[in-house]
């Protein structure tokens, strides 16, 4: 029997993301460190309501290799207290001001669905608006364009902010959820470009867990290459999420290994930006995948030379 002839891998590659003069692509994937200015984040290890705690977390994230820092002032899920727009501003604005002064070249992202919050944050050189609620506020993308920021287009299955999914269905075919994700992200990106945001500053995020069951999230993760094929940089926000916990039967503080496995799969399939609680571990995983894919070379090559 003749041996098969090796063929090129043909791995998916998304266009580059360009923010604050930096370029992120398959050869230089970006790690987005998370700093939640909340007392009730689902992961206890990332609750930084205290300003000193938030400052230390920022320094640690940068030291561990974060390219982007994503700042949030409201818990995503419906548990916890209601947070007004004014309270959200009071949580995030002083920290944004500190972060920009401390790290002038760091890419700063704000996790908000409120256009008025993003507008105020623009005064501190905000680089990215992380709209995790899929355009619930239709003015948000216009504000992002006006302040010169990029935007994250997301998929929530039509749910409004801070709504946990219940009895979610997309159709009889397991791939129906993937089709819905692709339609929603393509439309979100189209609206962002129409608002004046360049394609190189538009991220698409399939937004696992949001508006999805665990099986939905796993199906979408397997089809990361299809998300990549939309023609925009792909963000995967996988860190310690419920689909990881339910897949392995683990609580949030035990989900690191599962998160890193999902991260490696997404990176192999073309995602280039990764939102992470565990910056150093994620940095090493995505850099290693980039080397395995052949998008970059090893740091050193001495073995057998």
pLDDT in tens, 242-260: 999 999 999 999 999 999 9
Which of these is catalytic: 37, 91, 275, 283?
275
pLDDT of residue 257: 98
Total count of residues recorded for the chain: 305
Reading the block at residue 13, the tokens are 């590659």
pLDDT of residue 41: 81
The top-level CATH class assigned to 21-75+83-293 is alpha beta
Residue 241 annotated in active site: yes
Which structure tokens are listed for 305?
Answer: 């030379």
Angle at 235 between CA 139 and CA 201, to 5 degrees: 55
Residues of the chain with pLDDT under 70: none
**Pick the catalytic residue: 37, 47, 114, 241?**
241
Q: What pLDDT is attached to residue 137?
A: 97
In whole angstroms, give the CA distance from residue 269 to residue 63: 27
pLDDT in tens, 117-144: 999 999 889 999 999 999 999 999 999 9
What pLDDT is attached to residue 264? 98
Distance CA 206, CA 188 (A): 11
pLDDT value at residue 142? 97
Is-contact 143 115, C-beta < 8 A?
A: yes
What is the reported pTM?
A: 0.94
Residue 77: what pLDDT? Answer: 79
Task: Report yes or no: 118 and 140 within 8 Å, Cβ to Cβ.
Answer: yes
18 is catalytic: no
Report, in this order, helix, strand and coil percent for the chain, each rounded to 5: 40, 15, 45
């Amino acid at each position: 029997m003749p041996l098969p002839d090796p063929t090129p891998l043909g791995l998916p590659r998304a266009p580059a993301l360009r923010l604050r003069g930096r370029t992120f692509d398959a050869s230089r994937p970006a790690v987005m460190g998370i700093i939640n200015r909340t007392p009730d984040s689902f992961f206890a290890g990332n609750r930084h309501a205290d300003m000193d705690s938030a400052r230390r977390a920022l320094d640690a994230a940068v030291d561990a290799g974060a390219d982007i820092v994503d700042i949030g002032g409201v818990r995503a899920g419906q548990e916890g207290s209601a947070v007004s727009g004014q309270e959200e501003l009071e949580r995030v604005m002083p920290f944004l001001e500190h972060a920009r002064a401390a790290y002038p070249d760091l890419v700063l992202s704000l996790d908000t669905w409120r256009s008025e919050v993003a507008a105020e944050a623009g005064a501190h050189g905000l680089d990215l608006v992380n709209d995790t609620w899929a355009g619930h506020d239709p003015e948000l993308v216009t504000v992002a364009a006006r302040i010169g920021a990029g935007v994250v287009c997301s998929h929530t299955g039509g749910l409004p902010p801070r709504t946990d999914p219940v009895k979610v269905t997309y159709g009889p075919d397991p791939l129906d959820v993937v089709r819905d994700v692709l339609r929603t992200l393509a439309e979100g990106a189209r609206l962002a470009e129409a608002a004046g945001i360049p394609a190189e500053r538009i991220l698409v995020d399939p937004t696992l867990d949001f508006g999805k069951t665990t099986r939905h999230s796993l199906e979408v993760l397997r089809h990361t290459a299809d998300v990549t094929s939309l023609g925009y940089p792909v963000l995967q926000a996988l860190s310690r999420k419920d689909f990881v916990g339910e897949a392995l039967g683990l609580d949030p503080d035990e989900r690191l290994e599962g998160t890193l496995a999902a991260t490696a799969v997404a990176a192999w399939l073309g995602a280039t930006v990764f939102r992470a609680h565990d910056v150093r571990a994620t940095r090493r995983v995505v850099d290693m995948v980039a080397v395995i894919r052949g998008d970059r070379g090893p740091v050193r090559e001495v073995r057998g030379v």
